[in-house]
Amino acid sequence: MNERRRQQDLKRYSCPSLYIQEVEGWPESEARDRYLKDLRRLRDVMVHFKVGYIGFAGGASLGILRSRYPEAYDVLERAKGLVSVQ
């Protein structure tokens, strides 16, 4: 029961990101691939934070990614209606 609810919660907030799709259209490069990987990780950690499925390590990861990519964080937060971490 709990696992099914968890999957439903994650699915509700895990929608495609226009920002990530835009970055996917950039020319192939190692820097772009690393940035995409971090963006996807940031989005996933934000979703887990929103639905309450995040521990200390996830919170630390969110803080690191948020400080590394503040513009991306803001765009993803507005697009998904995710709660900001103050």
Per-residue pLDDT of the chain (86 residues; tens, 9 = 90+): 688 877 777 777 666 788 888 999 999 999 999 999 999 999 888 888 887 888 888 889 999 999 999 999 998 888 766 544 44
Rounded to whole angstroms, the Cα distance separating 75 from 81 reads 10
* Contact by Cβ (8 Å): 43, 62: no
Whole-model pTM over 0.85: no
pLDDT at 73: 92
Rounded to whole angstroms, the Cα distance separating 58 from 43 reads 12
Q: How many residues does the chain have?
A: 86
Contacts of 86 (CB under 8 A, 6+ apart): none
